[in-house]
Structure formats: structure tokens, C-alpha cells
Structure 1
Amino acid sequence: MTPLPWPSTPPAYGSVVLREFTEADVRLALELGEDPYVPLIGSLPAHPTRQEAEAWVRRQQSRHAEGRGFPFVIDVAGTGVGTVGLWLRKLSEGIGIVGYSISPEHRRRGFASDALKAITPFAWTVPGVERIELYIEPWNRGSLRAAEKAGYRREALLPAHQEIGGFARDMLLYAAP
């Protein structure tokens, strides 16, 4: 798939600016890798070495060129506090999938909901996106609050929908209004 153009103006909302990954985001990768959950839902190893964190950042940088989507760093005042991505694996069905994670030391400050409020208007500009979905495990109250605060609506409980940490997990399906 040929990559779609990167946004000429970085998506932003509140104190959050969404930007491309840089070498400086190895620090963020190291922080995210210390969270017990984040490595279960993506390609970042748990407790990564510096080399593993660097490789993960390079993978994020390559995902757009591969046509897989738009991986962003959630930046607040020059500091990466988390990641958010618009993934296009279901674009042929008109669906963009959003996913996000916030470094443990930056949680409970509204950055996830602001990141969702930044990426959602951008996602609607991507050719072919007719629906934006978000999947959250039912126990993840912080993520549920962030999605709802950003205007996403709960649509369904999907039993055993996604493998996480080697187990089929129930997921709540949320969609952008």
C-alpha cells in the first residue's frame, strides 16, 4: 500500500501536539516498556534494552512508509508522554483503528483524551476512512474515561476478540461520533 501523505500541520488539541517519532523518543520507549501492560499490546519488549528501544522507535518511523498507518508521539511542551496511532489495516472496509498508550508517569492528566481529540479530526481527512474504531479491555477504566471524554461511544462488548499476552481477551468496541 502506498503511504498517504503525512499531515502538513501536526494534529493538536489542548496542550498536546502529535508528531513523528525521533531518536529522542528512545526515552519514551524505555518508559513504556516498564509498564506491565504496554508490551502485551504491541511490539515493544518488556523492560527493553536501549538497543531494543531504538529498534522499536525505528519500527514506528517505518510504519507510515509501509502504508500501515500514522504513528504519532503525544508531545506536551517538548516531551513525549505517550503514543497514538491511526492504523489502516481495515481501510478497505472504510475503517481506521486508533490506539494509544501513555507513559505511567504522565497518566491521569488528560493527555490520552486530548490525543484522541487531536487524532480524530485528522483521521476523518484520510481518504477512505468512513469509521473510526477503538478497542479497550473492559477493566481499563482510565482508557474508557479517556475515550468517552473524547466523544467516543461504546457500541459493543466483543467476547474473546483480541489476543493479548497469549490470551483471548474481551474488548469493548468504541467508535467516533
Structure 2
Amino acid sequence: MTHVLSTQSAIPAGSLVAAPHPVLRAPGLVLRPWDTADAPVFLDAYRDPEIRRWHTRSPASEEQAREWFAGYRQDWTEEKAANWAVTRDGKEVLGRIALRGMNLEDGVAECAYWVLPAARRTGVASGALTAVSEWALGEAGFHRLELDHSTRNEASCRVAARAGFVLEGTKRSSAVHPDGRHDMHLHARLRVGGSPAHPES
């Protein structure tokens, strides 16, 4: 069903997919689209207890992981989401980061990420989140990025703060995790004056 906006769309439809899925860089990191060859490490990641603790969905096989990758590619062509493998050199996968629920009319999207055990507490998550945020709030033209996590996930809270996401409040009993319902912290980072805003802006 079509509708007419009374305001101008923050990001014109078709402007993101007019270019290839971006490859982003941060110090020591390359963020690239997922490749079918990444299926084994992707599947193994979801066997990690910490990743399973905070995620309710996980692939059951390498074949299903590749199906997820195909879905990621489709989401990009439909301007619904962008998904990256976080790598050390374009090859060694260290984690995953995504922009989900991309609302081009309002210029809002949600960030999500995980990092493999060997790469934790090394700045990988905050570096990847900063790189995605700079692209999204800069070149891509988003106005607001949101990020939520369980109030019990202190590590994710630290990552969000280091990447410039301000804690805005608590969403009570907002999400279901494997051990039941959790309160969720809501963080956000804004584009102000044409540039990505940091907390001090």
C-alpha cells in the first residue's frame, strides 16, 4: 500500500543500493559483506555460550548460515539492513555487526553486534561500531542510530559508550532471552549539524 509523506524522506529510496554494499575500515579492522566461505566460523560463533546467552536465533547448520548470508544480501538490495563480517585483514572473521530495521523515511536504524571470544576486550567491537556509525551518520545520511542490550550485559554497555552511544533509558521487560524476559538499556547516537555526534556534542 502506497502512502504520501508530509515531510521529505531523510534518505531517498534507492540511494543506498545505488552503490555496492560498503566495505568499511577501522584501525586493524576490515568490515566486509559475508561470504559463503564464512559459514563454518559463523556457525561456530553461535555455539559460544556468551553469544547464545544474548541471542535467541542461531543457525542450525552451515547450509542455514549460507541461507542467512543470502538473506543479508537481499536485505541490502531492499534497503532493509546492512550486515558486515568484522575481520582482521578481510579474511580472519572476528565478529559480526549490522544495521537493522533501516527506516529511510525517518533516517533511523538499529545496531547489533557480537565478537568471537578471542577478540573480546581488544577494542574490536567498539572499533567496528564506530566505523559503522561514522558511515551511517555520515555518507549514508541516517539521523539517529539506536542500540539496545540487556541491562545484565555490562560488556555491551561499555562498547556502546566507547562508540559514542548515549544511554537514554531502560525499556522494562522489553526482550526475551534464553533465561526469560530482560530489561533493556536503550542507547543512541545522533547526526548533528551534518556530522556524526559524540556525547560531548
Deviation at 1:142, TM superposition (A): 1.6
Deviation at 1:161, TM superposition (A): 1.8
Aligned mate of 1:14, from 21, 27, 43: 27
Aligned mate of 1:87, from 83, 100, 105: 100
Deviation at 1:171, TM superposition (A): 0.7
Amino acid of the residue matched to residue 55 of structure 2? I
1:62 has 2:62 as partner:
no
TM-score (structure 2 length as normaliser): 0.75
User: What are the ranges of 5 or more consecutive residues in structure 1 without an aligned counterpart?
Assistant: none
Q: Return the index of the structure with the highest Cα Rg.
A: 2
Superposition RMSD in Å: 2.4
Deviation at 1:30, TM superposition (A): 1.6
Deviation at 1:118, TM superposition (A): 0.6
Cα-to-partner distance string for 1:12-50 (whole Å, 9 max, x where unaligned): 1111111111112112212222023535636423xx322
Aligned mate of 1:116, from 97, 121, 129: 129
Amino acid of the residue matched to residue 150 of structure 1? A
How many residue pairs align between the two structures? 174
1:74 has 2:86 as partner:
yes
Aligned to 2:10: none
User: What are the ranges of 5 or more consecutive residues in structure 2 without an aligned counterpart?
Assistant: 1-12, 190-197
Cα-to-partner distance string for 1:54-100 (whole Å, 9 max, x where unaligned): 22232223221232111111111221111111123444333111111
Cα distance between partner residues in 1 of 2:72 and 2:44 = 16
**Preserved CA contact (<8 Å) 1:3 1:66:** no
Percent of aligned pairs sharing the same letter: 25
TM-score (structure 1 length as normaliser): 0.84
**Preserved CA contact (<8 Å) 1:98 1:132:** yes
Aligned to 2:176: 163
